[in-house]
């Protein structure tokens, strides 16, 4: 992966400088330093997420008093920061991993192949296989190695405003297999878009809180497309396939043709997240990382539902968004780091995560636990969250993805602005992406 590439994980997509909760900041260091007695843990988080991390670390420290954990909070570019630390011989022991960037770190020899730890710990390996979600676990497999254990699911779905839906007499699907068709989704978005006498939109049918060119790709996936083939170390992209082109065009048309979603120009002056939180949008695309913001909003009554899918399909799919925990190949505390990974990604740490309500846990029992239900007591369609990983389309695993991401931004961007048709992807994006994949 290009050393100057930004993090392509969920938070990296947003290009945001993340803060940290005060309770964690008091004990967090800004660099690796020379504290030889502590296990260092490098991660990225906003304040709410940092608080969730603190809960897991506190419980681990209570159960393992001989292993002290020192946290290192990343800046806006965690991948570059990790590369800098590791090049300087100060690589943190435990590293947060993202589904689209871990392969580049593994390819550089920065991450430990966890198969060695799993082979020496067959009891936990068996428990992990039985208790975790296979699709998320397999996401961190690369060239025969297992380079991280998943800790949360962060795929995308739709939040919807129950008051606006009820007022319009519209109901929303409660399961991934009951998704709207693209046509039904467009009709609902039209019905729930409101304009004043001057024609100015005062209520949007649909807003997007994720990264638009990835969102367009996810609509393409729900139109029957893939991102690339095969999933791991792909040799070609699917950007020239008709299903991909048609899905991207439909997403672009929501703003540019049908006027049910903010255009790129509109998005310069409004925040999609704020628009939904203020009750001025009926539907918002995003992941569970938006849940706390929306649940804290005044007078916002919302639930969740699946994305639309092609007519005749078996249902909708999310993306396989996930973060995991990895161990530095250079760590001198591998056994301690392994104990931390087993705890945080295992049943006890996952139960703590479930109760916090900050993440969707990847341990099946935690996702179905009373603690997770209690943390989401206002959500009626909880299956959208608990069954999300099983209905997620895999993202490509390749060390070259940072370059593919840059190409997607360059060529899908004009389509979303209405400057080019999606058919242009066949002659522009697809050939260049395929060349990158052939030469990885």
Q: What is the DSSP string of 318-374?
A: EE--EEEEEEBTT-S-HHHHHHHHHHHTSHHHHHHHHHHTSSB-SBHHHHTSHHHHH
In this predicted structure, what is the pLDDT of residue 41? 97
In this predicted structure, what is the pLDDT of residue 20? 29
347 near 141, Cβ under 8 Å?
no
pLDDT band at 11 (very low <50, low <70, confident <90, very high): very low
Residue pLDDT, tens place only, 60-86: 999 999 999 999 999 888 999 999 999
pLDDT band at 285 (very low <50, low <70, confident <90, very high): very high
Q: What is the DSSP string of 99-134?
A: TTTHHHHHHTT-B--THHHHHT-HHHHHHHHHHB-H
CB burial string 93-114: b at 16+ within 10 A, e below: bbbbbbbbbbbbbbbeebbbbb
- Lowest mean pLDDT of 43-47, 385-389, 432-436, name the range: 43-47
In this predicted structure, what is the pLDDT of residue 265? 84
- Structural domains in the chain, CATH included, are 10-154+320-393 (3.40.190.10), 156-318+400-438 (3.40.190.10)
pLDDT at 143 over 70: yes
In this predicted structure, what is the pLDDT of residue 267? 84
In this predicted structure, what is the pLDDT of residue 264? 86
What distance in Å separates the CA atoms of residue 324 and residue 345, rounded to the nearest whole number?
Answer: 8
- Lowest mean pLDDT of 36-40, 419-423, 425-429, name the range: 36-40
pLDDT at 414 over 60: yes
Sign for the pseudo-dihedral over CA of 355, 287, 77, 142 = positive
pTM as predicted = 0.89
Higher pLDDT among residues 277 and 268, named by residue: 277
pLDDT at 2 over 60: no
In this predicted structure, what is the pLDDT of residue 36? 66
């Amino acid at each position: 992966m290009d050393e100057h590439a930004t993090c392509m994980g969920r938070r990296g997509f947003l290009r945001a400088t993340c803060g940290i909760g005060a309770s964690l900041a008091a004990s967090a260091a800004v660099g690796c330093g020379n504290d030889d007695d502590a296990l260092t843990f490098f991660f990225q988080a906003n304040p709410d997420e940092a608080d969730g991390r603190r809960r897991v670390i506190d419980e681990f420290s209570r159960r393992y008093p001989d292993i002290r954990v020192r946290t290192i909070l990343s800046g806006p570019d965690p991948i570059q920061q990790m590369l800098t630390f590791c090049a300087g011989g100060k690589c943190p022991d435990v590293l947060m991993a993202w589904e689209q960037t871990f392969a580049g770190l593994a390819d550089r020899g920065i991450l430990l192949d966890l198969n060695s730890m799993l082979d020496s710990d067959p009891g936990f390996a068996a428990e992990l296989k039985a208790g975790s979600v296979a699709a998320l676990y397999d996401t961190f497999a690369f060239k025969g190695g297992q380079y991280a254990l998943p800790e949360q699911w962060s795929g995308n779905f739709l939040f919807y405003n129950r008051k606006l839906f009820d007022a319009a007499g519209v109901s929303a699907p409660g399961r991934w297999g009951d998704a709207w068709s693209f046509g039904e989704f467009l009709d609902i978005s039209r019905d729930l878009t409101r304009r004043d006498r001057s024609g100015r939109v005062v209520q949007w049918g649909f807003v997007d809180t994720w990264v638009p060119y990835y969102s367009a790709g996810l609509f393409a996936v729900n139109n029957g497309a893939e991102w690339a083939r095969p999933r791991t170390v792909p040799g070609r992209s699917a950007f020239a396939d008709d299903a991909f082109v048609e899905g991207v065009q439909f997403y672009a048309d929501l703003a540019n043709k049908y006027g049910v979603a903010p255009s790129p120009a509109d998005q310069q002056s409004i925040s999609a997240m704020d628009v939904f939180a203020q009750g001025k949008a009926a539907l918002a695309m995003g992941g569970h990382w938006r849940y706390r913001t929306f649940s804290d909003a005044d007078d916002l009554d919302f639930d969740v539902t699946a994305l639309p899918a092609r007519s005749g399909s078996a249902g909708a799919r999310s993306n396989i968004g996930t973060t995991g925990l990895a161990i530095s190949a250079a760590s001198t505390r591998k056994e301690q780091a392994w104990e931390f990974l087993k705890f945080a990604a295992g049943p006890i740490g996952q139960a703590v995560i479930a109760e916090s309500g900050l993440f969707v846990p990847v341990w099946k029992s935690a996702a179905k636990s009373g603690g997770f239900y209690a943390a989401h007591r206002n959500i009626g369609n909880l299956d959208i969250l608990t069954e999300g990983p099983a209905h997620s389309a895999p993202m490509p695993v390749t060390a070259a993805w940072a370059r593919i991401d840059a190409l997607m931004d360059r060529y899908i961007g004009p389509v979303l602005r209405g400057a080019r048709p999606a058919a242009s992807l066949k002659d522009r994006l697809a050939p260049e992406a395929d060349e990158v994949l052939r030469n990885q």
